[in-house]
Amino acid sequence: MKYYDFIDKEPKLGGLVIIEGVETLLAQQALDVVLDRALAPEMRDLNLEVFVGPEMESAARVADAINAMPFLADRRVVVVRRCHDLRAAPRREVWAIAQTVPVGNTLVLEDLLPPTKKTKPEPFGALAGRTALRIDTTSGADARTRFIKETLERLGATAEPRVLSELAASDADLGSVRNDLEKLALGGKTIAYADLERESLTVEDPKAWQYASLLVEGRAAEALAVAFELFANDPRGAAVPLVSALATEFGLLWELARPGGGDLPPRHAWRERKLRPAAQRIGERRARYAYESAVRGFEAIVTGRIDDPRAMIEILTADLAAKVVRRG
**Same domain, yes or no, for 146 and 252?**
no
Cβ density class 78-87: b for 16+ within 10 Å, e for less: bbbbbbbbbe
Cα–Cα distance for residue pair 288/273, rounded to 1 Å = 20
Which candidate, 253, 255, 250, 261, places its Cα nearest to that of 292?
Answer: 250
pLDDT tens over the chain, length 328 residues: 999 999 999 999 999 999 999 888 899 999 999 999 999 989 999 999 999 988 898 899 999 999 999 998 889 999 999 999 898 999 999 999 999 999 999 999 999 888 766 667 889 999 999 999 999 999 888 999 999 999 999 889 999 998 888 888 877 778 878 877 887 787 667 888 877 766 554 445 678 888 999 999 889 999 999 999 989 888 878 888 899 889 889 988 988 888 776 777 666 666 777 888 899 899 999 999 999 999 888 888 877 788 899 999 999 999 999 988 864 3
Q: Which amino acid is at 210?
A: Q
**Same domain, yes or no, for 260 and 222?**
yes
Q: In what order do the strands lie in the sheet with 48-52?
A: 48-52, 77-81, 106-110, 16-20, 133-136
**Same domain, yes or no, for 93 and 181?**
no
pTM of the entire predicted model? 0.64
Segments forming the whole domain that contains residue 234: 206-323
Q: Is residue 249 part of a domain?
A: yes
DSSP readout, 274-288?
HHHHHHHHH-HHHHH
Which candidate, 160, 141, 275, places its Cα nearest to that of 213?
Answer: 275
Which candidate, 107, 105, 104, 77, places its Cα nearest to that of 95?
Answer: 107
Number of structural domains, the chain? 3
Q: What's the CATH code of the domain at 18?
A: 3.40.50.300
**Same domain, yes or no, for 112 and 228?**
no
> In this structure, what are the phi and psi dihedrals at residue 297, rounded to the nearest 5 degrees?
-65, -40
**Distances in Å between the alpha carbon of 307 and those of 118, 183, 312?**
55, 20, 9
**Same domain, yes or no, for 46 and 106?**
yes
